[in-house]
Amino acid sequence: MSQFEQLLEKYAELAVKSGVNIVPGQTLHINAPIIAAEYVRKVVKYAYEAGAKLVNIDWNDDAVTRTKYELAPDEVFGEFPAWKVTAMEELAENGGAVLSVISPNPELLKGIDPKRIATFNKTANTALHKYREYMMADRIRWSIVAIPCKEWAEKVYPNENIDKAMELLWDSVFKICRVDNENPVQAWEKHNDFLQEKVVQLNDKRYKTLHYTAPGTDLKLDLVDDHVWKGGGANSEDGKWFNPNIPTEEVFSMPHSHGVNGTVTSTLPLNYGGNLIENFSLTFKDGSVVDFTAEKGYDTLQHLLDTDEGARRLGEVALVPHDSPISNTGLIFFNTLYDENASCHLALGKAYPNNMKDGEKLPAEEQAKRGINQSLTHVDFMIGSAELNIDGIKEDGTVEPIMRNGNWAF
C-alpha cells in the first residue's frame, strides 16, 4: 500500500470514528460527489466494521449540476423532491448519522443567473427545514470532510501544473486534518481538549458585548443572555461525541439577533452557491444589514441577504487565532470549511439554538424573542486577520482584550 493510500485509509477511518462516530446498529447516510468514490468506499468499509446497520449513498456530480442550471426550465428551481425530504427526516428521527463529502469547485456556477441559484437554495432550505432543525440542535451526529478535485487544486495553486497542484492540495488536506499523525483519532481528541480550554475560559467571562476593530471594521456585537461558547466536537442528543467539521479550529457562540451595530469587512473570499463574493463589507444597525458593498459577486450577495429577514442578521460569532494551522499555510482555499478555520468569522442567518442554555428546548417563537436568529440560511464569512483586535465588554462596563493582532490575548 502506497503512502497516499495509507493516508486515505486514515482519513476515512477518521470520518467514521471522530466525525460521525458510528455506533452498532446505526444507519449512515453519505452525500458525496462521484469523483470521491474511492474515498467513500473506504468510509463504507469502516462504517460497517464499526457496526453500522446500513450505509446509504446519495451521489452527485458537478457536470450534471452545471448542466441543470444552464438548461433546465425555471420552474425546476422552485421544486424539491418530497421523497428526499421524507428520507432525511426519517433518518434523523430514527437516530441515523450523516456524512457530507464535498469536493468544491469554487466557481462551478460562474456565469449562471444568480436568481436561479438563490431560488433553488431557498427551495431546498425550505423543504429541509425540519431536518436542519434536527441537525443544528445536534439531535443527530453529522460531519463534513473535503476531497480535492482538479478545479479546487487549480484555484488554490494557480502557478502549478495540475498534477503538482493536486499533490500539494492532498498534502495540505492531510496535514490540516491531522491525518498525517500516527493516530489521527487520538490527535483529534487532544485537539478537542485544547479547544475546550478556550470554551471554558470564555464561558467563565460572561461578556455582554464583543467589540471588533480592524481596517474597514468597527463592529459591536451583543451576545444573547445565557449564551454558551462551544468548540471542536459536540455531544449529540444521545450523548455521543462527534466532530461536525473536519477540520475545525474555532470556538463559537451566539450574537443577539437585534444587537449588532457597525461595519465589518471581509478578509477572505466567500464561496457561496458556486460563485465567489470578494472584498465585501456589511453595515449593521440594530442587528440587521442596512448597507453592503462587494468588489466581486455583488448580485450573489444581494440574493443571499434577500433570502428572508433573518438572512440580514447574524446567527454565529466564531473566534479563530490567526496563528492557526490553516492560516499558517498562507493559502486561500476558496472554501468555507477550510477558510473559516483560518480566520475569525461571523455567520449570516440561522443560529445554533444550543449556543444558548437550553435554547434548543424553546419553541421557535420564544427563541426569536430571546434573540436567537431564525432563517432558512446559515452562511459563514471570514473577517479575521493579523490586524484584528477584539475586546470583551462585561455588564459593568469592564473592557478586557480577547484578541490582539489576530491572536489570543489570554
What confidence tens digit (pLDDT) does each residue in 67-103 have? 999 999 999 999 999 999 999 999 999 999 999 999 9
How far apart, in whole angstroms, are the C-alpha atoms of residue 355 and residue 372? Answer: 9
How far apart, in whole angstroms, are the C-alpha atoms of residue 101 and residue 110? Answer: 22
End-to-end CA distance of the chain: 45
pLDDT band with cut points at 50, 70 and 90 for residue 1: confident
Question: Which cell goes with 13?
Answer: 477511518
CA-closest candidate to residue 256, choices 291, 220, 280 = 220
Per-residue confidence (pLDDT) for residue 410, from 0 to 100: 86
How far apart, in whole angstroms, are the C-alpha atoms of residue 387 and residue 381? Answer: 17
Other C-beta atoms closer than 10 Å to the C-beta of 73 total 6
SS3 track for 64-78: HHHHHHHHCCHHHHH
CA–centroid distance for 315 within its chain: 12
List all residues 6 or more positions away from 375 whose beta carbon is below 8 Å from its beta carbon: 307, 308, 309, 310, 311, 313, 315, 348, 349, 350
Strand locations in 150-208, DSSP E? none
Whether the Cβ atoms of residue 233 and residue 192 lie closer than 8 Å to each other:
yes
pLDDT of 232 above 90: no
What residue segments make up the domains of the chain, in order of their start?
Answer: 3-176, 189-408
pLDDT band with cut points at 50, 70 and 90 for residue 401: very high
pLDDT of 160 above 90: yes
What confidence tens digit (pLDDT) does each residue in 178-192 have? 999 999 999 999 999
Question: Which cell goes with 296?
Answer: 466581486
What confidence tens digit (pLDDT) does each residue in 42-69 have? 999 999 999 999 999 999 999 999 999 9
| Beta bridge partners of residue 407, listed in sequence order | 404
How far apart, in whole angstroms, are the C-alpha atoms of residue 390 and residue 213? Answer: 7
How far apart, in whole angstroms, are the C-alpha atoms of residue 222 and residue 257? Answer: 9
**What is the reported pTM?**
0.95
At the top level of CATH, the class of 3-176 is alpha beta
